[in-house]
Structure 1
């Protein structure tokens, strides 16, 4: 062993053991996402003429979640968020009286509001230190917080607010389960910080209307996109 090899070995830095904080945060990340999308519904037998006139609407969603990397490719996440599912109604209402004849344009937006608790699995298909591409899927628990629907006068020209547990019994289920699937793309613009885009779809597995209401079964769905910010909590990556 010559003198040069001894000098090289002497310059090597000793390996440091990870701290307790590094061990606790290793593999964890946090995410903030928001987006919009097309929302509509599937209705069962017995849909009224008014329900058949419904057209797709624009919805909104936002969520905060935490994610844990089980492997380099496989990550699980859970969080809490908010979502709106909407449909639109546009039609002409004819009005005929003893002295007048005319029409009235109806332009309503029916909306259903939920607190969402998503649980997802993410699988990275391709990627490197700068970007990632993959697929995602999972389930979501949806808790109805309120709704606004076009209701019941003879002309169907007014809307009604619904709140679970307030006033007249709501015709809607308070708890629903959703299935979701989509893809994701991430770009690392700074160490441990990622810009995230997620095109995805959601489908209600159960009817939003309850059987006791006598209404047709209603299963909302959405196709949309979320974008946001994700950052790795592991201090070694910063």
Structure 2
């Protein structure tokens, strides 16, 4: 039949060919990425909370600094062991030393009436940081210690030079005086930082020793004794200091310092050969100042 497909022919070939072209066209379209023009539309950017915080200034660690310190202290002196505060009428004392011993007893009795008074100190130091926590410093200073005596009444003492042997005596005193002792010092300090230091505040412990050169003393009852060659006081003394070390940064190189501290003299104020009862100075106060970092 004319309308029937002949043998050896594929009546579905045209359809298959058309289907093949259609699939290739669709695949080619799917492989093409859409091209969108975004030039006129700015892309949004993510804003983190940290982006809105002000930048923290970078503090460069420097090892050397110069420090200038000064401040008041409440100072006092204590009598050492063996002070003869009570008069003894049976004690045998050589005649040549009788008056001196009697005077020492009076001085000791008056020393018990002493009260603390206000002194002050000044220091210029060079400091160096050894590590993140340890530091050392050394320099020159000036220290003034003072006591105040206000007493009105009798003092009983022993007169060893009496013709018939030692005897008790009494003397009236109406005393109001301030005694001052001045020293040039060489302070040596070791500091140790505590806690987690912030960008501005750091704090720690401070300890050290001072070599103290006696410059002289004065009292409201007499002139200064600095120029007296027969002074009964040591020319060189040694003291120890302990306290706190507070730093507050106010600039890239500048810090404010506060150092509450206590100082005690290991050596007696009078010379051993003076025959006077040992007296030890001490003080408690605070130094205020600034530190300027060099490099």
The alignment's TM-score, normalised by the length of structure 1, stands at: 0.76
Q: Which has the higher strand share?
A: 1
Which residue of structure 2 lines up, in the alignment, with residue 78 of structure 1?
A: 138
Q: Deviations over 1:57-106 (max 9, x none)?
A: 11110110000111011110000010100000112368xxxxxxxx9963
Which residue of structure 1 lines up, in the alignment, with residue 69 of structure 2?
A: 33
**Which secondary structure does the structure 2 equivalent of 1:191 belong to?**
coil
Superposition CA RMSD, Å: 2.0
2-structure distance, mates of 1:146, 1:81:
15
The correspondence for 1:64, drawn from 96, 107, 124, is 124
* Alignment of structure 1 residues 89-238 onto 2, 5 Å: 89-92=149-152, 106-126=175-195, 127-149=197-219, 158-163=221-226, 166-234=227-295
2-structure distance, mates of 1:106, 1:218:
20
Greater Cα radius of gyration, structure 1 or 2? 2
The alignment's TM-score, normalised by the length of structure 2, stands at: 0.62
Q: Which has the higher helix share?
A: 2
- Deviation of the 1:194 alpha carbon: 0.3
Distance change (3 Å), C-alpha of 1:181 and 1:173? same
- Deviation of the 1:110 alpha carbon: 0.3
**Which secondary structure does the structure 2 equivalent of 1:49 belong to?**
helix
The higher relative CO (CA closer than 8 Å, separation ≥ 6) is in: 1
Contact 1:46–1:215 (8 Å) recurs in 2: no
List alignment gaps of at least 5 residues for structure 2: 1-60, 86-107, 155-171
Contact 1:69–1:75 (8 Å) recurs in 2: yes
**Which secondary structure does the structure 2 equivalent of 1:72 belong to?**
coil
- Deviation of the 1:128 alpha carbon: 2.1
2-structure distance, mates of 1:216, 1:46:
8
Count the aligned residue pairs: 193
List alignment gaps of at least 5 residues for structure 1: 1-24, 95-102, 151-157
2-structure distance, mates of 1:172, 1:73:
39
